[in-house]
Amino acid sequence: MKHRYIYDIDQIYGENGEVSIISNDVTITFNARNLLASLDPMLYFAIKEVNKENEGIKNSLKETIKSIRY
């Protein structure tokens, strides 16, 4: 199994019942129906990870504000 890290998406397009995502030199093509069925868990994990990241940033900012109060 190969692992590819996709940081940014350069292009998304659909044709022939498929959805393709292009990032740098990598193209990932999904069957559109199967991709649609996978969107719910994909969105769940994406939102969960962003929320964890945002919580970390908020906590760091709170600590910084506490440390500069006089």
**Contact indicator for 19, 34 with CB cutoff of 8 Å:** no
d(CA 10, CA 23): 5
pTM: 0.73
Q: Residue 4 falls within a domain, yes or no?
A: no
Q: What is the mean pLDDT of residues 26-41?
A: 96
Domain that includes residue 60, residue range: 11-68
Query: Is residue 5 in some structural domain?
Result: no
Q: 18 Cβ partners below 8 Å, 6+ apart?
A: 29, 30, 31, 32
Tell me whether residue 1 is in a domain. no
Q: How many domains does the structure of the chain reveal?
A: 1
Is residue 16 in a domain? Answer: yes
What pLDDT, on a 0 to 100 scale, did the predictor assign at position 69?
74
pLDDT score of 28 more than 90: yes
Residues in the chain: 70
pLDDT at position 70 over 70: no
For residue 33, is it within any domain?
yes
